[in-house]
Chain A
Amino acid sequence: MSGAGRLPTAASIGQVVIVGASLAGLRAAEALRAEGFAGKLIIIGDEPEPPYDRPPLSKSVLSGWLPVEHTFLPQRADLDAEWLLGMPAVGLDVARQQVHLADGRRIGYDRLLIATGTRARPWPDAQQATLDGVCTVRTQADARRLRERLVAGPKRVLVIGGGFTGSEVASVCREMELAVTLTERSATPLAGALGQAAGTVAARLQRDHGVDLRCDTTVMALLGDGDRKLRRAKLSDGDELDVNVAMVALGSLRNVEWLQGAGLAADHRGVACDGSCRVFDAWGVVRDDIFAAGDVARWPHPLFDGAFLTVEHWSHAVEQAATAAHNLLAPTATCRPYHHLPAFWSNQFDVNIRSVGVPTIADSIVLTQGKYEEQRLVAAYGHEGRMVAAATINAPRWLPEYQALIETRAPFPPELHAADGPADSRPLPVGFPHHGQATHDLGVEQSGSGPGSPPPMPEPEEAVWLDPREPVGAPPLV
């Protein structure tokens, strides 16, 4: 430590530990070196592979265009980090400043960055989830396995969950001319992330490409044979499908279990941190030595009234990692606030879908540019008369304009005078499903107004909503 009454500076930081060796962890490590950190840098990851990029796993890798070994991320040549890979962190002792590893080792730190991200939410029945043929796509190993299944030419692929990952997998299946059934418990695909009004466009895309799309429908059971190979799936619409490949795309779970008992404000919603990425402890006190970034972090976004957000987007991991790395070394006076506007993309059914802002807080949506027939659309999202988000199909170059409107809290519906605007542009209700109803990730999720605000108690009714096997409509009569 430097002199009394002074905040520690980079010179006093001997060892930085990053838990999480994916995109956020790598980018934070690179930023630390770029900012001049010369001390010891340790990166802990539970997967054996060095950092790789996940977005292509459900797209180019699955389609066979990109070999899975070609997804590793570039790294700075002078990173000079000690990598502890294939080694999960299992605990954290904040008083002793130590991370506990699965093999019993304890790794001390002066500064800690939590970037453990998320994992695929498994099928809720453990017996059924381990049937041969039940897959998820989150890791390189997952993608390799699912690719092998698709190449084998199954009669039909079942995709459970119509979020971005599920939709992308269905899209690849159709490219490979495989029959595919996609079930989504809400009224449209992508309803959780973009709302049902926009989701109707996604539904149309899927049906136009030959997906057997079943909305308001869920899978109630996966059935195996004597060899524990998947054979059939029971749907809530009464149908039974003969399938030997089921891809579970029910969103993700945050990797926070290793922080249990550490005394931090961390629960299933993520690790709460402030606008400088410093983590709150369970009493709402911000810690100077522990930071968080990426999918696992929840932080108050200044543009959205300080509501705590978790964001599962690529650019969020990159930007928050860079900000956390800067603040981890910087005295408080030179801290950078983190106020990146969420933005994402998805490629499916030959179109590029984008969004900027936070659609999930919107109450209204309006089509502002383009036509479905031209496969080019722009829609704006509003909350209480202000712009909060925009989404596009095949129109990425328009997004910066909309981003500026969102950042300045421009009125909604926006006055654009666009040449390709529709004749009739009335705002419509955005149509987000009931909390827990969509069986997929929302992309951006709001979670309370403070670091210690308790997670909402699931009402008895809601406990039902949270089980993806429970159909939400009336049960079938027979």
Chain B
Amino acid sequence: MRIVVDLTRCQSYGQCVFAAPTVFRFHGAEALEYDYAPNDALATQVRWAAAACPVHAISLDAMDDRAASTDGHGASVAQSQVSGGRA
């Protein structure tokens, strides 16, 4: 699976580090680093991490997102706003 974290939005609450400690880690007190391509075996952990993020900074790839939305952990990639352009 692939993920990306908006590190501008991230406020280093560290919930992701608790949820998926091999995917997310702190480098020093506040500097988050993470694996963009975690092993699929960690998918559940990563979805929990995304769901636990207080500022919703973690995005999962869309394929995973679709699967995830069935169990209520839909994150990221906005499916909304189908408006404006299509007249």
Contact = CB atoms under 8 A, between A and B. Distances in A.
Interface of A: 2, 9-11, 30, 34-37, 53, 55-56, 59-60, 65-66, 69-79, 313-315, 318, 326, 328-331, 334, 343-345, 347, 350-352, 375, 394-397, 399
B6 to A, nearest CB: 7
B41 interface: no
Contact of A318 (B6, B33, B62, B84): B6
Interface string B20-40: 000000011111110111000
B30 A75 contact: no
A403 B37 CA distance: 32
A75 B62 contact: yes
Contact of B37 (A69, A314, A329): A69
Contacts of B9: 315
B59 A9 contact: no
Contacts of A10: 84-87
B73 interface: no
Chain A contact residues, majority secondary structure? mixed
B86 A9 contact: yes
Contacts of B83: 35-36, 334
25 contacts: A2-B87, A9-B86, A9-B87, A10-B84, A35-B81, A35-B83, A35-B86, A36-B82, A55-B7, A56-B33, A60-B33, A66-B35, A70-B35, A73-B4, A74-B3, A75-B61, A326-B81, A329-B84, A330-B85, A331-B85, A331-B87, A350-B27, A350-B29, A394-B28, A397-B11
Interface string B61-87: 111101000000000011111111111
B2 A73 contact: yes
Q: Which of A74, A78, A350 neighbours the largest number of chain B CB atoms within 10 Å of its CB?
A: A74
B10 interface: yes
A70 B36 contact: yes
B60 interface: yes
Nearest to B31: A347
Contacts of A350: 27-29, 31
A372 to B, nearest CB: 14
B15 interface: no
B44 to A, nearest CB: 17
A77 B66 contact: yes
Contacts of A347: 27-28, 31-33
A394 B62 contact: no
Contacts of A79: 62
B66 A344 contact: no
A368 B63 CA distance: 45
B31 A9 contact: no
Contacts of A9: 85-87
B12 A397 contact: yes
B4 A35 contact: no
A2 B1 CA distance: 42
Contacts of A78: 62
A2 B85 CA distance: 13
Given A10-B85, A351-B31, A397-B12, A70 B4 contact: no
Nearest to B87: A9
A334 B84 contact: yes
B85 A77 contact: no
Contacts of A2: 87
